Amino acid sequence: MSTPTTPRPYFVASHGIDTLVINVHGRLFWEVRHQLDELQAQALAERNATRGRRRAQVLVETPWRLAGKPLLIRLHGGGNAQWRWIVTCPAATFELGLGELNGICCRVRLSSEILWRYGYRRAWGTVCALLERWADTDSTEETSDLAAADAPNALTYQVSELHLCADVAGHEVDALRREDFVHRGSIATWHANDAQLLDLLEVRSREGAEEQRQQKREAEAAQPIVEVYIRHGETEGISFSKTAAHACAIYNKPKEIRHQSRDKVWFADIWRKNGWNGQQGIARIEMRYAREALRELGCEGVEETFDRLDALWAYSTQHWLRHTVPPPPPHRPKNRTRWPTSPWWQEVQKASFGMPHTAPAQRQKAHAFHEERILATILGYLESWSAYHAGRKPVPSELDITTVLRAIADRSDRFYAERHSDFSEEVRKKRKRLGYAG
């Protein structure tokens, strides 16, 4: 007779990379740059021929695809002229330039969708394959001497920004107190009502007393703090040094999805697969690393960084930040670093990123959510249209939705004719903005 298993009080319901930004060093193939110029000119021409508010929403389809969806080029570049072209799709956004300023010809941001759908290694492999095509100099056609001189060097990749996260079930964020968090940094300032305001970047030993004093002055000037976010009287999140190169955010992920990211309801599938009962609280612990912190922690190349994910997490959750259980006052050490780690945080520390959780059904979940929301909007507008159109007259008993749709169809021809367009053309434009081919 098997003994019943004891339910786990805390467990990791999901973990992975939620944000990944890569700097690409090198130069794009000259033919790709010429093609991007032509596509951007086409987008500008289409914008100039478009009337009304939709002028700024013009996107032109490119011949490249990523994760089954076409890349679309925007009207303009960005980044104070560093990025000459911007191409995007739901899976990633590529900011492209000539690489003349700092040798970076591209900065690519992988979306949460592709990172969770494929896992970070496969997602990066898909993006990298596209980038290598743009840098490929092999061609069966003859090229001019100018084109040969313009051939790019091999591309190299550097991680610019990384967000590691773990969703841990069994603890409500509202029950967390910032006083119970301890991290090993240098104290920036003391406040009567705030136990500590800490520099969350670890201060390393440096040669020279003057350099150490300069670092201390800079830390005191920055004065990083712990911020608590409260909504309707409940704590929804705590952030640690939000603007620093190494930061952390702890927040109620189900509430964040409900209020801000309802197209990510597919996260519930991952959580249930790993033992979530649908009732337990889930806290997301998100460690954020900018380029400066990654460099100090020995993470340069992409694959090198992937191999060090567990080491990054261990450093951040064991040395840099801990949630503790303060001992009773008579036996409470004044040195907070001696306080024991809470059982909940011990589970946080166990997250391992060698086998990230993926969500193969997320597209269906996201599409179903958007379709349901669009349907509710359509029906609401049809009801308002009918109520307004009836005026002071009573609503006819034979009124149904088909009668209303026929009346709208009769009016739509004139509506589109005044805008020099038609229904199918507007549908194709909307598909482009959603990341599909026309």
Q: Which pLDDT does position 292 carry in this prediction?
A: 92
Integer Cα distance of 132 and 16 in angstroms: 25
* CA separation for the pair 91, 114 (Å, rounded): 5
Give pTM, 2 decimals.
Answer: 0.73
The per-residue DSSP string of 161-199 comes to EEEEEEEEES--GGG--GGGEE--SEEEEEETTEEEEEE
Whether residue 212 contacts residue 200, with contact meaning beta carbons closer than 8 Å, is answered with no
Q: Which long-range contacts (CB under 8 A, 24 or more apart) does 405-408 make?
A: 408/382
Q: State the average pLDDT for the chain.
A: 78
pLDDT in tens, 201-258: 333 444 455 665 565 545 444 444 678 877 777 778 898 888 889 999 999 998 888 8
CA distance 324 to 381: 52
Instruction: For residue range 287-303, list pLDDT tens digits in order.
Output: 999 999 999 888 989 99
Whole-number pLDDT of residue 194: 30
Give the pLDDT confidence of 388-436 residue by residue, as tens digits: 777 667 777 778 888 888 888 888 878 877 777 777 777 777 666 665 6
Question: In this structure, are strands 69-73 and 60-66 parallel, antiparallel, or unpaired?
Answer: antiparallel
- Give the E-state strand segments of 99-233 in sequence order: 104-110, 156-169, 181-182, 186-191, 194-199, 226-231
The span from the CA of 61 to the CA of 48, in Å, is 17
Q: Which tens digits make up the pLDDT trace of 84-139?
A: 999 999 899 999 998 877 889 999 999 998 999 899 999 999 999 999 999 855 43
Which is more confident, 337 or 188? 337
C-alpha Rg value of the chain to the nearest Å: 27
- Pick from 246, 237, 258, 332: nearest CA to 296: 246
pLDDT at 212 (0 to 100): 58
Alpha helices by DSSP H, 350-422: 362-390, 401-418
